[in-house]
Structure 1
Amino acid sequence: MTDEATWDELETNERGPVPTVAVVGRPNVGKSTLVNRILGRRAAVVQDEPGVTRDRVAYDAEWAGRDFSLVDTGGWDPDAEGMAKAIAAQAELAIKTADVVVFVVDSRVGATDADEAAARILHRAKKRVILVANKVDSERMNSDVADLWSLGLGEPYPISALHGRGSGDLLDQIVWAFPEKPTGQLKERGPRRVALVGKPNVGKSSLLNRIAGEDRAVVDNVAGTTVDPVDSLVEIDGDDWVLVDTAGLRKRVKFASGTEYYASLRTEHAVEAAEVVVVLLDASQPVAEQDQRVLTQAVESGRALVLAFNKWDLVDEDRRYYLEKEIDRELAQVAWAPRVNVSALTGRAVAKLAPALREALGGWGQRISTGELNQWISTLQAATPHPVRANKAPKVLFATQADTEPPRFILFTNAKFDKQYLKFIQRRLREDFGFPGTPIELVVKPRESRKKDKHK
């Protein structure tokens, strides 16, 4: 890679805010199907029943060379109560923080009272609104769209999110509606999203029920009771959180089969949609290979991480001694993750989860200024230089933090770096700056040799 290309990449990573597009509408009109169509992959969970999406979920999207943030929302009913009211509140927050609102209506049903109420709210919001008539699967169904002019939101765009009909024209319209200066207000988010993962029967559903104070998830001693991820809005230590109880992970997706394959796939999606992952381990049992697989998947996802040792009520003094030895030996690769010892059965230390989650999310979003980072790395290299290789001393010429969530650093160097020295830099970054609860990515960009050019 040329120096010019690396600087172009750096400029891209440090670009300003991108436009935010919120997809809203009442339950079961096909919002998540449309999101998947725009993304070109099955990212949002789709199911033939209302209320599957319960929170705002943001995805990175691109069309015609324009990047934007696409926000899928829960079904919006202005008269909702209980959990449905919280879902509606998230949809309204998405509207407030969006640059463009895509309002989806079921063309086969027409404009309902809920759609008309939503249209009035959209009028008051004074946002750029694109009205989408979904489920127009053929040309002869276009006539069903005309009645939607009554909503007063302009021309309805007939599409079939399921089959892709009209989606390209819709995307052209979305991009055309982007403002010159995006608000970039997606960071004004609602409850943080937490995925509970772990091997089967480790107590994920029991912990969720303990936190919620009621039975939100099915609990059984038989492993594998939870198949699909279940979203729950709960309060811990005064803050609202969206907790996702997931199926127990036995194998990686590519090695699973049948029902287990789909459960693993949806669990993987739940982790990808989360901001922080709580990996539950059974404190009463030795750390197993299954636990290691779960931890590897959590770290590779790039999400913030918290370790929760469950069933602490079964841990005696002897087990505590051996557990500490196991943690030092088996979990050294995630020593940076906050640890909480809990008991879903008794409720022990469950309230301590919230501080651990906040700590991990703080590290996940932490940023070091370019000036401070380069001063730090110059001092580090002066005190402990890279070993000489082939009569050359590899050195960092310039460093920058290109991204957060998780932190990603780019090191522009005069030569390739040994993996051990990179581990040393990573360890010192944690020692001097913290970064608790988050993986750190180091990308080395060696400067290309110009010797070949001189001989030409």
Structure 2
Amino acid sequence: MTEEEYIPSSADTVDEDLAQMTDEEHQARTQAYLAGLQQYELEDDDQQILEGFEEAESFAELDFVPPVVAVVGRPNVGKSTLVNRIIGRRQAVVEDVPGVTRDRVFYEAEWNGRPFTVADTGGWEYGVKGLAGKVAEQAERAVQRADAVLFVVDATVGITATDEAIVTMLRKANKPITLVANKADGQSHEADAAMLWGLGFGYPWPVSALHGRGTADLLDALLEELPEESAYKDVLTARGPRRVALVGRPNVGKSSLLNSLAGSARAVVDDTAGTTRDPVDELIELDGDIWEFIDTAGIRRRQHMASGSDYYASLRTRAALERAEVAVVLLEASQPLSEQDVRIIQIVLDTGRALVLAFNKWDLLDEDRRLDLEREVDLDLQHVSWAPRINISAKTGWHKNRLVPALETSLDSWETRIPTGKLNSFIGELVAAHPHPVRGGKQPRILFATQSSTRPPKFVLFTTGFLDPGYRRFIINRLRQYFGFEGSPIELTMRVRERRKR
């Protein structure tokens, strides 16, 4: 085996020859290859691969939007801990310092068979400016779009001036309010919770979000306030919105792009790197279709270098990529490409998601920087030269209209299936023109090719021996040249089989 690139010794006419072949000829060649493959020892799961896969996937009709519950309160009263308790998993970022949650973040939840959505919010403070002011604004937006509110107060501290200011804000919103007296870890604290009657929102439910005490009774009371369906539902497509993850290093402009696309301050934006901690979901209508954008925390140089909330935010960014279909990697055009940028792109490739490269802050470039950037792209991003590339300014919205065509191109490639007949004709013509090099006196042959799945496209080659990595890359590059696959990674695996013993 060698890591050297395979370089064809001469040009070929594969494209021209395939263009002249009919569907019947493709099918005939495939049947001949398949008959030859039967002379080799096949394993039990080989037949399943050879039979192909379901081309069409079923998507449930989304005709129901669960009610939304906003969880609000001043900083560090345990809102995210309560959210984790309600949804039954450690999803919201939690740390024992105030101000960890900054955006409004949505999670799916269920209690006694009733589904609902929980909106976790940053700590609300009165009269603050800067980043804290933006966080408070996000909490108010969450209340406006919610069907009910959980108002969380620290039972061990009692009513503060900030709590009283939140009461004023909530009364203006005119939403059903359930008062939560958190950190009531024992009987002694229940007496402290009784003091919260003075807020005027009825019975203060004593709970310990950390230990789970009292949360079942709280949820029972909450369900009585919730409608069957949200009054603020968005219009969704039949298959649901396509899911797009915005990823990149800290402060590269992910939240600014989300806000520009949404036409509002959906995510907290600040000059401080690392403002976003939780993945932020937003449904946005673009060109007549609904898209679900997931703004993620910036991925730092090395995960082990991050600590506390930054470490867990990095984990959630990777989880957000797993549930997305396509990733938009934002790169700062005005700054040199870094090892960190390349590593982030590799994370996307490892998850098998479709890819779009967005060079942000393009309006800050001068001519010298543009020339340097082109050289950096050729040097560092050659392995993703197949990804659509757009130049944008997230802050001003310049060229944001180019994002949807790039996303559609990548997603179409990500879901493309090549007919088995045409694929085998292509492989047959390619191998005839450029056979695998002889290694150790042997020359491995490709017996049959099939596409085992899409999202991303995965191809399986049945061979008589191991194919060099360089030769496999050559096949992938020619697949791209002939079939496209712009914006989608391609996976190519081998199944080495021996001839049946007579």
TM-score (norm 1): 0.66
- Structure 1 counterpart of 2:123: none
- Structure 2 counterpart of 1:181: none
- Structure 1 counterpart of 2:46: 7
Please give the per-residue CA displacement for 1:411-431, whole angstroms capped at 9, x wherever unaligned.
Answer: 111111100000000000000
Bigger relative CO (Cα 8 Å, ≥ 6 apart)? 2
Q: Please, which of 321, 330, 335 is the counterpart of residue 280 of structure 1?
A: 330
The amino acid that maps onto 1:338 is P
Q: CA deviation at 1:257?
A: 2.6
Q: Distance in 1 between matches of 2:372 and 2:453?
A: 39
Q: Distance in 1 between matches of 2:279 and 2:51?
A: 34
- Structure 2 counterpart of 1:381: 431
Is 1:108 equivalent to 2:162 in the alignment? no
Q: Distance in 2 between matches of 1:409 and 1:445?
A: 11
- Structure 1 counterpart of 2:117: 75
Q: Please, which of 319, 342, 345 is the counterpart of residue 269 of structure 1?
A: 319
- Structure 2 counterpart of 1:415: 465
Q: CA deviation at 1:7?
A: 1.2
Written as runs of structure 1 = structure 2, the 5 A alignment for 1:41-190 is 45=91, 52-53=106-107, 75=117, 108-109=220-221, 112=224, 114=226, 117=228, 188-190=238-240
The amino acid that maps onto 1:199 is R
- Structure 2 counterpart of 1:344: 394
Q: Please, which of 385, 390, 393 is the counterpart of residue 335 of structure 1?
A: 385
The amino acid that maps onto 2:295 is D
Q: CA deviation at 1:241?
A: 1.2
> More deviation in 194-203 or 254-263?
254-263
**In structure 2, do the counterparts of structure 1 residues 110 and 243 end up closer, same or farther at CA, with 3 Å as the change threshold?**
closer
Q: Distance in 2 between matches of 1:34 and 1:110?
A: 14
Q: CA deviation at 1:28?
A: 6.5
**In structure 2, do the counterparts of structure 1 residues 82 and 359 end up closer, same or farther at CA, with 3 Å as the change threshold?**
farther
The amino acid that maps onto 2:353 is R
Is 1:301 equivalent to 2:355 in the alignment? no
Q: Distance in 2 between matches of 1:197 and 1:272?
A: 12
Q: Please, which of 247, 250, 253 is the counterpart of residue 203 of structure 1?
A: 253
Partner-residue secondary structure (3-state), 1:416 = coil
- Structure 1 counterpart of 2:77: none
**In structure 2, do the counterparts of structure 1 residues 233 and 15 end up closer, same or farther at CA, with 3 Å as the change threshold?**
closer
Q: Distance in 2 between matches of 1:216 and 1:247?
A: 15
- Structure 2 counterpart of 1:390: 440
The amino acid that maps onto 2:107 is T
Partner-residue secondary structure (3-state), 1:227 = coil
**Aligned alpha-carbon RMSD (Å):** 4.0
TM-score (norm 2): 0.60
Q: CA deviation at 1:284?
A: 0.5
Partner-residue secondary structure (3-state), 1:340 = strand
The amino acid that maps onto 2:44 is A
> More deviation in 188-197 or 334-343?
188-197
Q: Distance in 1 between matches of 2:56 and 2:262?
A: 36
**In structure 2, do the counterparts of structure 1 residues 188 and 404 end up closer, same or farther at CA, with 3 Å as the change threshold?**
farther
Q: Distance in 1 between matches of 2:105 and 2:66?
A: 11
Q: CA deviation at 1:4?
A: 2.0
- Structure 1 counterpart of 2:295: 245
**In structure 2, do the counterparts of structure 1 residues 214 and 262 end up closer, same or farther at CA, with 3 Å as the change threshold?**
same
Q: Distance in 1 between matches of 2:371 and 2:275?
A: 32
Please give the per-residue CA displacement for 1:142-193, whole angstroms capped at 9, x wherever unaligned.
Answer: xxxxxxxxxxxxxxxxxxxxxxxxxxxxxxxxxxxxxxxxxxxxx9412211
* Count of matched residue pairs: 342
- Structure 1 counterpart of 2:280: 230
Q: Distance in 1 between matches of 2:243 and 2:468?
A: 37
**In structure 2, do the counterparts of structure 1 residues 289 and 73 end up closer, same or farther at CA, with 3 Å as the change threshold?**
farther
Q: Distance in 1 between matches of 2:275 and 2:143?
A: 29
**In structure 2, do the counterparts of structure 1 residues 51 and 346 end up closer, same or farther at CA, with 3 Å as the change threshold?**
closer
**In structure 2, do the counterparts of structure 1 residues 81 and 432 end up closer, same or farther at CA, with 3 Å as the change threshold?**
farther
Q: Distance in 2 between matches of 1:288 and 1:383?
A: 40
The amino acid that maps onto 2:220 is R
Q: Distance in 2 between matches of 1:36 and 1:326?
A: 44
Q: Please, which of 351, 355, 359 is the counterpart of residue 405 of structure 2?
A: 355
Please give the per-residue CA displacement for 1:76-128, whole angstroms capped at 9, x wherever unaligned.
Answer: 9xxx999669xxxxxxxxxxxxxxxxxxx99834974756x46xxxxxxxxxx
Partner-residue secondary structure (3-state), 2:352 = coil
The amino acid that maps onto 1:3 is L
Partner-residue secondary structure (3-state), 1:194 = strand
Instruction: Check whether the contact 2:106–2:280 (CA below 8 A) recurs between aligned residues.
Output: no
Consecutive unaligned residues of structure 1, counting only runs of 5 or more, are: 56-71, 86-104, 119-186
Q: Distance in 2 between matches of 1:195 and 1:443?
A: 27
Please give the per-residue CA displacement for 1:204-237, whole angstroms capped at 9, x wherever unaligned.
Answer: 1111111111111111111111111111112233
Instruction: Check whether the contact 1:28–1:51 (CA below 8 A) recurs between aligned residues.
Output: no
Q: Which has the larger radius of gyration?
A: 2
Q: Distance in 2 between matches of 1:18 and 1:366?
A: 12
The amino acid that maps onto 1:403 is S
Partner-residue secondary structure (3-state), 2:451 = strand
Q: CA deviation at 1:45?
A: 4.2
**In structure 2, do the counterparts of structure 1 residues 395 and 81 end up closer, same or farther at CA, with 3 Å as the change threshold?**
farther
Is 1:310 equivalent to 2:363 in the alignment? no
**In structure 2, do the counterparts of structure 1 residues 382 and 188 end up closer, same or farther at CA, with 3 Å as the change threshold?**
farther
The amino acid that maps onto 1:5 is D
**In structure 2, do the counterparts of structure 1 residues 302 and 417 end up closer, same or farther at CA, with 3 Å as the change threshold?**
same
**In structure 2, do the counterparts of structure 1 residues 220 and 16 end up closer, same or farther at CA, with 3 Å as the change threshold?**
closer
State percent identity of aligned pairs.
Answer: 49
Consecutive unaligned residues of structure 2, counting only runs of 5 or more, are: 1-39, 71-82, 95-100, 119-141, 148-216, 230-236
- Structure 1 counterpart of 2:484: 434
Q: CA deviation at 1:391?
A: 2.5
Q: CA deviation at 1:289?
A: 1.0
